[in-house]
Structure 1
Amino acid sequence: MFEGRPDRDAEVVLVGRSNVGKSTLMRELTGHAVETGGKPGVTRQPNHYDWVAEDFVLTDLPGFGFMSGVDEAVREQIKTDVVRYVEDHADELLVAVLVVDGKSVIDIIDRHSGPDSIPYDVELFHFLRELDVPTVVAVNKMDKVDDRDERLDDLCDRFGLPTPWQQWQDTVAPITAKQGRIEPLTDAVRTHLHDQKRDDLFKFF
């Protein structure tokens, strides 16, 4: 079970598979060096970045899915812990940011789709929404995607959102965290913060 969460009433979380760029995005948002690595699964415990005076914490949750050199039992435990964390703190979560890799997400979702299985990214998206946590899908690494609009339409389709993707700009945010191009995400997060009368937190996004 994850431990050490600061006692804060307001939180934004980053969730997603390993190696999609969550920690890079965290660094971009905070200006604070977060351990990142080329190998999946560097983050095993939540990274909390909190502002004591603001009663606010930004959390990068560990990635799920394939991790080099990590056995399946540990991977499943991390998945369970991520779900439990989100469930336990749903009342404090102002926004959840589900980070996906724009280049590979469609293939991954399709590979894990079947009559008896729901891909974890899709499942987590709907789980967050069922908990009434405003959720933004940050589609990262878009600099590597050629057919941008088509790819984002396909993603909406997989998540059960009617296309075209442009009507979901509070929910689907194409970004390239490594190059600091994250404005669609910060705009979407601010929209959700504003809806919850938390414009005071705009300075973090």
Structure 2
Amino acid sequence: MFENRPDRSDEVVLVGRSNVGKSTLMREITGHKVPTGQKPGVTREPNHFDWASEDFMVTDLPGFGYMQGVEEGHEEAIKTEVVQYVEEYAENVMVGVLVLDGKAAVDIIDRHSGDDEIPHVVELYYLLEELGIQPVVAVNKMDKVPDRDERLNDIADRLGLYPPWKQWRDVIAPITAKKGKIGPFEDAMKSHLEAAKRDDLKKFFA
């Protein structure tokens, strides 16, 4: 199980497959460089970022799925640890940010959808809901997606959200983190923090 969690009450967690841009989004939120790389699986332990004056932190949890140089059993172990972390700290987690690769997400979800199989990203989305954690789906790398609305409608549909996606703007946030284009994500976060009466934390998503 992941250890060394800072002693902070309120938390936002970033979850998702490897190489979807979680660490890049983390860097945009915090303004601090976190390890990112071309190879999947750079983040193997949680990256926590907390502010000395705040009882709040942002956590980038390791990605799951294909990781270069990692045995299959270890990939499964990381996925299990991510789930256990979210379950253990569910009452501290205000928002769970599921980061997807806008270009690849639908194909990956469809490829892993079988009679007895729920794709991991869909499973994570349902897990957040079941635990009472507000999900926000940050659909990243949108600069590489030509059929933007159609793709976002498909993602909404796969997550059980009735299209069109635009009626779910507080849940589905199209972004390009690498270029600093995360406005829809910040808007979604601010709406949830307002609902939670935590206007004091909105400054982190401005």
Same fold (TM over 0.5): yes
Aligned to 1:58: 58
Where does residue 177 of structure 1 map in the other structure? 177
- For 1:94-173, what aligned pairs fall within 5 Å after superposition? 94-173=94-173
Structure 1 segments unaligned to the other structure (5+ residues): none
AA aligned opposite 2:12:
V
**For residues 146 and 97 of structure 2, what CA distance do their matches in structure 1 show?**
24
User: Using the alignment, how far apart are the partners of 2:182 and 2:191 within structure 1?
Assistant: 15
Q: Identity percentage over the alignment?
A: 67
Segments of 4+ moved more than 2 angstroms: none
CA distance in 1 between counterparts of 2:26 and 2:57 reads 12
TM-score normalised by the chain length of structure 1: 0.99
Cα distance in 1 for residues equivalent to 2:35 and 2:49: 13
TM-score when normalising by structure 2 = 0.99
Distance in 1 between residues matched to 2:52 and 2:3, nearest whole Å: 18
Q: Counterpart of 1:44?
A: 44
Alignment RMSD: 0.5
Match of 2:25 in 1: 25
Can you list the C-alpha shifts for 1:12-39, whole angstroms capped at 9, x where unaligned? Answer: 0100000000001111111101000100
1:184 Cα deviation (Å)?
Answer: 0.3
SS of alignment partner, residue 54 of structure 1: coil
CA shift at 1:69, angstroms? 1.1
Aligned-partner Cα distance in 2 for 1:137–1:156: 9
Give the drift of 1:52. Answer: 2.4
Aligned residue number for residue 200 of structure 2: 200
Q: 1:116, 1:123 → 2: CA distance?
A: 12
Which residue does 1:71 correspond to in 2? 71
SS at match of 2:150: helix
AA aligned opposite 2:16: G
**What secondary structure, in the 3-state scheme, does the structure 2 residue paired with 1:98 have?**
strand
Q: Which whole-Å deviations, capped at 9, do the CAs of 1:51-86 have from their partners, x for residues lacking one?
A: 121100100000010001111111001000000000
Matched positions, count = 205
